[in-house]
Amino acid sequence: MPKAVSGPPAAPARPPAPGGALAAQGRLPLAFMGLGLAWLAAATVLLAVQPTLLGLPHPHPHVVALTHAWVLGFLVTVACGAAYQLVPIALGATLRSERQGWWHFALHAVGVPGMVYSFWQWDLALLGHFGAAVGIGVALFSFNIWRTVASAGRRGTVARSLWLMAAWLFLTVALGLLLAANRFWHFIPLDPVALLRTHAHLGLVGFFLTLLQGVSFQLVPMFTLGEIRDWRLADAGLGLTQVGLLALAPALAWHLEPLAFAGALMIGGGLGCSAVSLGRALRTRKKRRLDPGLTAFLRGGVGLCVAAVVGAVLAFPGLGRDVITGSMAYAVLGLLGGLVPCVAGMMCKIVPFLTWMRAYGPRVGRGPTPAAHALTHPHLESWGLGLLQASAVILIWGVWASSAFWLQVGVWVLTAGVGLFLTDMLRVLRHLWARPAVAAPMPR
């Protein structure tokens, strides 16, 4: 892989820790990617069976279960797997503890389905048990990332975003556990719906946007052979997003509308700064043609910027809009129009590389090997990712118009897009089992 410009030169990497080679070969990230794909299929089936769930108020238990299937099951799982792969690459350091990563995987694999089932049945006692498993796994993930960042000795936008995203994920899960306990014992004298919105924004803005504002400046130059020539806008974008979220979170919890609006404006401004900085990097690229995965990643970024504008409008004091309908449309825009294309596009770059590294890396110098990009099928990627993002437009209209017909059409389009995308990913992953034997090395 070509190296991207990601800030000041890295400190010399320390010798690999025991087991570090296994993580470097991609087994841990691939395990998370595979689990994430399973959740993408499950979450799509759940929505396909009951498309009218999107017409329900967002605090409804079934809507909460569906949201966690998509966000915690698919998006967070894939993002954590990507982090386990990208953090060592971005920082020039070995992951501090692969063993903690595997414990995280096990706890996540058990805890998330239990949480989704508990939400669906609204069994708060059971939710506490499975939520605790997910929380312990996230704590291991965050501690692992913090130690890796600290040991690398690298500073800059990418390193700060990686440290911060781990902190926000930890806080998001901790608040989620607190909210579950509060619904059981009722000890927090605040509006539970407002607290739910706070929890959602801590995760979506704090974890996902912070992660994307860092890894974008690693992935995009890496895969387009471009460079970041001025980091000031990227730094400003990350800083504005963090300050904005610090204002938005308490404002949502305590219904402080002017502060919420100010926080939403700062988050939108931070995304704008990051977008301008990334656009400048794209203009320096040597690889002029963008593949479907990278195109979807960038389109998802545009969707997130639009969602930030819509969020600021919804936060405007005294606007007098339909809060439930507007909030659901905003959620669909942010998830299916923004985050899902970003994460799916990122997978189209990471999964083939990890698969190639494990399946064909040992054959380099011993025989012919395909290029990593040759494992993918561009037409499947293009149609799958295109239909997936197009479904967001139909579903937003269905939610806004309260139309069961358009919700059903949107879910059909989404299901078709997800099906094509999964087909492409599975055809890539089959190389892990269908790879040719490695020839024995020549004697010296």
Mean pLDDT confidence for 92-97: 90
- Residue 325 is predicted with a pLDDT of 59
What share of the chain has pLDDT > 70, as a percent? 91
- With 50 as the cut, is the pLDDT of residue 13 above it? no
pLDDT band at 6 (very low <50, low <70, confident <90, very high): very low
- Residue 322 is predicted with a pLDDT of 52
Average pLDDT, the chain: 89
- Residue 320 is predicted with a pLDDT of 52
Q: Where are the alpha helices (DSSP H) in 256-322?
A: 257-283, 292-315
- Residue 17 is predicted with a pLDDT of 41
Q: Where are the alpha helices (DSSP H) in 50-76?
A: 61-68
35-49, 85-99, 189-203, 317-331: least confidently modelled range: 317-331
161-175, 367-381, 390-404: least confidently modelled range: 367-381
The C-alpha atoms of residue 13 and residue 15 are separated, in whole angstroms, by 7
- With 60 as the cut, is the pLDDT of residue 253 above it? yes
Residues belonging to the chain: 444
The residue type found at 334 is: G
Q: Which residues contact 275 (CB under 8 A, 6 or more apart)?
A: 237, 301, 302, 305
- With 60 as the cut, is the pLDDT of residue 5 above it? no
| Superfamily of domain 21-327 in the CATH hierarchy | Cytochrome c oxidase-like, subunit I domain (1.20.210.10)
Which residue reads 């058990």 in tokens? 110
- With 80 as the cut, is the pLDDT of residue 84 above it? yes
Q: Which residues contact 38 (CB under 8 A, 6 or more apart)?
A: none
What is the pTM for the complete model shown?
Answer: 0.91
- Residue 187 is predicted with a pLDDT of 93
Mean pLDDT confidence for 15-23: 40
- With 60 as the cut, is the pLDDT of residue 152 above it? yes
- With 60 as the cut, is the pLDDT of residue 350 above it? yes
Mean pLDDT confidence for 277-290: 93
Distance of CA 206 to the CA centre of its chain: 11
pLDDT band at 435 (very low <50, low <70, confident <90, very high): low
- With 70 as the cut, is the pLDDT of residue 342 above it? yes
